[in-house]
Amino acid sequence: MAANGVASIGECMLELSGQAGSNWRMGFAGDTFNTLWALHALTPDRPATYVSAFGDDPFSRDQIDFFSQNGIGIGGSPLISGARPGLYAITLTGAERAFTYWRADAAARQLASDPAALAKSLSNQALVYFSGITLAILDTAARKTLLSAVETARAAGSLVAFDPNYRPRLWQNRETAQAAIVEALAVTDMALPTFPDEQMLFEDETPEATAERFGKLVGEIVVKNGEQPALIAANGASQNVEAVHVATPVDTTGAGDSFNGGYLAARLAGHPPADAARRAHQVAAAVVQVRGALAPFETLRAAFGV
């Protein structure tokens, strides 16, 4: 059977958003899950798997049920007795968001605790996606286990996509983050960095410098830059693709993750990189007009043009 599924690896957390006085709305989100959500909405015929680790508490059960209700499985992800999900709260100033996290003992930190189960979850996938946050929540040994599993999936024919998504507070130090991300790029086909992150981590002066550095290891690079154009570097050529301006954004949470999902969906459908980036910008523009990280599937599909 030909590989057809899409798998995303990382941590899906409890999300508190939409604060109104003392009232909060609870949902489920996290960078790699947000990307898979958009990717699944836009490629509904492909089996979608979220690869992580989960607890056995009511919130973990609700999380897994939520995935299932929306057509997303968890593959061989381990269920850890006594563990629970991480939690974060979004506070907004206008449309700009700030995050407060409670995740130190989250179950997802054990996602590589069963190497055989991890490898099975990544087998027979058309696409495997992960991020720098996935790496950051793991210890050194677990990171090596994860990258070995990704490399095995790639050798078997999976396309591997990676967003470095640098978050300084998750890393012991800058040098550790740099080394881990370079190791990840060595098993990556398609990189989706964000320029301000790369500027902070590697002191790149321009998006072109980021693309040039990544191009030494990766064949296809999309350098995101907020409302500025995305820089596409692939097949020895580069091109800027203008972003979609939203005059009055509601909530920018998940915009970059949804861009990634739109881009990957378009590339899997056979669209060339520049067209995929245009579609991805439309998806991101739709997401910033709703609250929370996950836009309804219908909203994503309408923006994507399917």
Tokens 């098993």 correspond to: 187
Query: Within 13 Å, how many C-alpha atoms sit on residue 40's CB side?
Result: 24
Q: Phi/psi at 100 (nearest 5 deg)?
A: -120, 130
Residues 67, 59 contacting (CB under 8 angstroms): no
Residues 265, 43 contacting (CB under 8 angstroms): yes
CA 14/CA 45 separation, integer angstroms: 27
CA dihedral sign of residues 78, 84, 86, 87:
positive
Tokens 């967003």 correspond to: 163
CA 151/CA 171 separation, integer angstroms: 23
Q: What is the dihedral of CA 37, 186, 135, 98, to 10 degrees?
A: -60
The amino acid that residue 220 corresponds to is E
3-state SS assignment for residue 191: strand
CA 117/CA 217 separation, integer angstroms: 28
CA 162/CA 181 separation, integer angstroms: 9
Residues labelled as active-site residues: 257
CA 242/CA 161 separation, integer angstroms: 22
Cα–Cα–Cα angle for 131, 133, 135, rounded to 5 degrees = 80
